[in-house]
Every structure is written in C-alpha cells, then in structure tokens.
C-alpha cells in the first residue's frame, strides 16, 4: 500500500512544483516593465478524481505589456516608414536607425554613431543660428542700402593717393581741395563757398583738416612745398601762414589748438594756433610721413611713413614710445597713410598699409612690449587708403584702391578672391572677430581718401581718377537721431 501511494506522490510532486513556482522579480524585470503584472490561476486538485489526467492551468497566463518600447521586432509588425511623408519625418528625427530594444542584443555601434551624429547636428544648428543684425551696425544700414546717398562732381582733385584733399567739419561743412583752390559746402544750406587759393610758388594743396568741436570753422591746409595756412571759414579770412623751408607736405590733424603736420623729411611739426608758432619738432621717421592721427583723448599721436613704420608719440611726456627698441616698432611692408584710434577702447589703434603690404594691423598700444606684434591682422592684398572706427558699435571701416596679383604659392585662393572683392570699395569689418560684414563697390577707380561725419554715421569718399565724391550712410546713432538725414539727397550735384 505504501509503495502505491509513493508512486502517486512522485508523479504529482514535479507537476505541482512546476505550477507553484513563481518567477523571481529579477527574471521578470529583465524582460518586462515593473508596471506589468502576471496573473496565474491554477485548477484545484482533487487527489481522488484528477490523478489520472495531466494538470494544466484552467486560465491561461495573461500578460499586460505596458512598456512604450517594442521588445522584439516580430515578423508581422508593420514597418516604421509607411509613407514617403513618414519616411521624411523619421529621417529628420533620426528614427531610421536601429532603435528597437532587445533584451539580449546590446545596442549596435551604428545606432550609437547615428545618435551622436544627431546630437552634433542639433548642437551645430543651435550655435550657428545667426543673431539679428543690430540697427546700429553697418549691416543694417550700408548693407541694406548698398548705395551712396549723395554724389558730387570733383574735377581737378589731386591724383596722389597719399593726399588728404577732403575733410568734414563739426559744423556739417565738407571741405575739398582742387589743385590750388579750396572750396567748402554747407550740407544743410547747400551753399558752396570758395575759401582760398594758393600761389604757384607754394604748390598745389595736398592736405586739409577742420578744427575740432570747439572751433568747427577753423580750416588748415598744407601745400606740396610745405606751406601751412590756417583759415577762418566763417569769416573768410586767413589767420596764420607758416612757411616751411623746402620740406614737402604729408598728413595733418588737429588736437584742440595744436596742429600736427607730417613732413617729407620724416619729421612731424607741431603748431599752436594760440601762439601762432611752431612748438615742437618730432624726429623719428626717415621717410615722408603720410599718416598723422591724434588719439581721442589727445594724449598720443600716431604717425606712419613711406617705409611702413608706425610711431606713437606721448604728448604729455614729449617722447616717442616706439623709438627705444627696434623690436618694438610697429611695421608694415608698405607705406602707411591710414590710421584710426578706437573711440571706445583706450590704446586701440588700426593701421593700414599700401602696396605691397595690403593688410590692416590692429595694435594695443597700452600693452606694448619688445618684439610684440599686432593683436589682429586682416590681410586684404589691396591698397588701404583710410580707416575709421565706428562711434556706435565695434566695427572698422576701410577704403581701398587697386589690388595686385597674389602668388598662389604663398596665399590661399580665398585670400586672392577677397582681395579682388574689396578693390575700389568700402568695406566694414566687425571687431574682435575681424570678419568682413559689408563690402560695397564705392567707385570705378581707386578710392584715394575718405572722411567721417561728426555724428559717426556717414562717410564721404573721394576718387580722383573718377573725379567723384560720394557720401554713404554706414551706421546709425543709438537713439536713431537724424535717421532720415540725407535720405532725400539722392540727387547728383556739383561742388564747383
């Protein structure tokens, strides 16, 4: 009897063990989500009636799949890309990769690579989003108009690209030198006045410059033979005449009552209108001084000569800051006429070189040290005739003459393309990126000189070969003051 029941018990035990065993939490969580529930109901056992038949569950196992991922791709599942439209959407969101999860297979390297590519593309789009151009910037003004707003005929101007035959006063008067004569026009009344005429013995007028804000009607002019004359344009009379013994004329610039004049012999002469006499003679250059520019605060004077050397003179110490060490000299490979001090950063100076240099150097004169170079260089391979920092934003304007052939073995082809692009043009560069943001073809011939308006918004350019003077609206003031000024000046007139 015992043997009979022992055999029955042995037959039941494996079956019952199989039914009552509950899967562990670890085995369930590896395949299904924690939100899944597995409910198993087992038929009640009656030893007397059901020993002969096999035991099976009365209710099948019910599985609730609450996960949002497909665990295993089945052969009957529909593809993710049903239509061309969904195909494009899936491709845009990176869903065409192998992204179906599998409990056994690890993520493929291709999937990881595509996911990283998607992240890089998203990040690059985020960082490459261009900001809207500021209303003060040249991009929103000159770049939007891309044309001059005023044109004047200028026959008989000096064809010397190192001459400075035009200046803009704080009284909104534009002065222009034509050979021996000097004219000025009031841009508000449009009245043209003949101011003076130099004699044949003095030579033609090489450079002119208006006085500062305190004396806007004071006009200085220098002839090719070195004669310097100061005129009162409001009264139409000569105030003083400084005669130089045989030295030619370079550039000139006012600093209050003091006038700095560059000479052909390499020296720079300082005149004081109050004393009506020469007060200083700066010796540092060995060639003709083309560029002369006072800093905004009037403490430093920058000068550039025909050999490409730029010197900084301290007005308070009466000493050259760049003459003690040869390595500290600021040097170009071509003549330097274009100089401009930044009005919003102390000691920041931009200088431009002519042929064969064709580059803009930006110097931090407040941190000059032996063998220190420019903080930025903009190679353009085109003659740079003038430079102007904006008063309202961090941008630099440059005017250009002709370009020259660039050996492709030393220069990248993109540099040659940019050189041709700025020929005879007016270009604006952002700072400190030094990226060119605007480039407008100003004239059909080289731009010899330019001057900026006192409000810092407009620029006049001169092309002696084209015999034309043009005004361009480049920037806007912060409060948009005089925004429409010059909008009606699209006619062509003559200054003579």
Domain range for 95:
2-72+85-105+112-124
Residue 131: inside a domain: no
Same domain, 97 and 166: no
Same domain, 153 and 294: yes
pLDDT at 372: 74
Give percent above pLDDT 90 in the chain: 55
Kindly indicate the confidence band of residue 208, based on its pLDDT and cuts at 50, 70 and 90.
very high
Same domain, 120 and 146: no
Residue 282: inside a domain: yes
Question: Residue 332 above 50 pLDDT?
Answer: yes
Question: Residue 127 above 60 pLDDT?
Answer: yes
More confident residue, 483 or 338: 338
Question: Residue 59 above 70 pLDDT?
Answer: no
Same domain, 58 and 169: no
Same domain, 297 and 431: yes
pLDDT at 129: 56
pLDDT at 112: 62
pLDDT at 313: 94
More confident residue, 115 or 415: 115
Out of 46-60, 139-153, 263-277, 358-372, pick the least confident: 46-60
Same domain, 54 and 174: no
pLDDT at 96: 57
Q: Mean pLDDT across the stretch 446-475?
A: 96
The domain total for the chain is 2
Same domain, 117 and 161: no
Residue 267: inside a domain: yes
Residue 213: inside a domain: yes
More confident residue, 261 or 130: 261
Kindly report the CATH number assigned to the domain that includes residue 216.
Answer: 2.130.10.10
Kindly indicate the confidence band of residue 110, based on its pLDDT and cuts at 50, 70 and 90.
low
Residue 78: inside a domain: no
Residue 38: inside a domain: yes
pLDDT at 24: 47
Same domain, 178 and 99: no
Question: Residue 493 above 70 pLDDT?
Answer: no
Kindly indicate the confidence band of residue 1, based on its pLDDT and cuts at 50, 70 and 90.
very low
Residue 29: inside a domain: yes
Residue 311: inside a domain: yes
pLDDT at 178: 94
pLDDT at 125: 67
pLDDT at 34: 44
Same domain, 161 and 42: no
Same domain, 60 and 148: no
pLDDT at 132: 67
Q: Mean pLDDT across the stretch 348-360?
A: 95
Question: Residue 419 above 80 pLDDT?
Answer: no
Instruction: Please give the mean pLDDT across all residues of the chain.
Output: 79
Residues with Cβ < 8 Å from 404, sequence gap 6 or more?
Answer: 355, 356, 358, 381, 382, 419
Q: Mean pLDDT across the stretch 472-489?
A: 65
Question: Residue 359 above 50 pLDDT?
Answer: yes
Question: Residue 55 above 50 pLDDT?
Answer: no
Same domain, 377 and 255: yes
Question: Tokens in use for 481?
Answer: 């003051």
Q: Mean pLDDT across the stretch 235-256?
A: 88
pLDDT at 373: 86
Q: Mean pLDDT across the stretch 115-131?
A: 67
Same domain, 60 and 193: no
């Amino acid at each position: 009897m015992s043997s009979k029941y022992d055999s029955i018990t042995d037959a039941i035990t494996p079956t019952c063990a199989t039914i009552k065993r509950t899967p562990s939490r670890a085995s369930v969580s590896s395949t299904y989500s924690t939100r899944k529930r597995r409910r198993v109901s087992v038929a009640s056992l009656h030893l007397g009636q059901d020993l002969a038949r096999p035991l099976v569950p009365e209710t099948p196992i019910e599985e609730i799949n609450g996960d949002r991922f497909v665990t295993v791709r089945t052969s009957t599942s529909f593809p993710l890309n049903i239509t061309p439209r969904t195909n494009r959407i899936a491709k845009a969101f990176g869903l065409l990769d192998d992204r179906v999860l599998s409990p056994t297979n690890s993520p493929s390297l291709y999937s990881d690579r595509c996911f990283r590519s998607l992240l890089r593309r998203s990040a690059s789009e985020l960082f490459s989003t261009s900001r809207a151009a500021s209303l003060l910037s040249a991009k929103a003004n000159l770049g939007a108009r891309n044309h001059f707003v005023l044109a004047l005929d200028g026959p008989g101007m000096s064809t010397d690209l190192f001459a400075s035959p035009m200046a803009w006063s704080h009284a909104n008067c534009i002065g222009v030198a034509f050979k021996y004569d000097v004219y000025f026009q009031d841009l508000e009344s449009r009245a043209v006045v003949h101011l003076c005429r130099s004699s044949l013995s003095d030579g033609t007028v090489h450079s002119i410059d208006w006085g500062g804000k305190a004396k806007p009607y004071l006009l200085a002019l220098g002839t090719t033979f070195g004669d310097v004359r100061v005129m009162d344009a409001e009264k139409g009379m000569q105030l003083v005449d400084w005669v130089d013994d045989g030295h030619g004329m370079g550039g000139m610039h006012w600093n209050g009552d003091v006038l700095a004049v560059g000479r052909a012999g390499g020296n720079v002469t300082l005149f004081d209108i109050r004393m009506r006499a020469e007060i200083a003679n700066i010796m540092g250059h060995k060639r003709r001084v083309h560029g002369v520019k006072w800093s905004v605060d009037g403490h430093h004077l920058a000068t550039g000569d025909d050999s490409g050397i730029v010197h900084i003179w301290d007005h308070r110490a009466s000493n050259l800051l760049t003459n003690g060490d040869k390595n500290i000299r600021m040097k170009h490979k071509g003549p330097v006429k274009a100089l401009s001090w930044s009005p919003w950063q102390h000691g920041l100076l931009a200088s431009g070189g002519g042929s064969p240099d064709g580059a803009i150097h930006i110097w931090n004169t407040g941190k000059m040290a032996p063998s220190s170079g420019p903080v930025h260089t903009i190679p353009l391979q085109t003659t740079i005739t003038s430079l102007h920092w904006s008063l309202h934003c961090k941008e630099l304007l440059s005017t250009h003459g002709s370009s020259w052939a660039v050996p492709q073995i030393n220069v990248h082809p993109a540099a040659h393309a940019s050189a041709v692009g700025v020929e005879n043009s007016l270009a604006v560069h952002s700072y400190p990126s030094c990226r060119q943001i605007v480039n407008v073809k100003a004239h059909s011939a080289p731009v010899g000189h330019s001057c900026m308006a006192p409000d810092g918004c407009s620029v006049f350019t001169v092309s002696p070969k084209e015999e034309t003077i043009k005004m361009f609206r480049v920037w806007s003031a912060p409060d948009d003051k005089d925004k429409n000024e010059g909008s009606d000046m699209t006619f062509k007139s003559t200054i003579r």
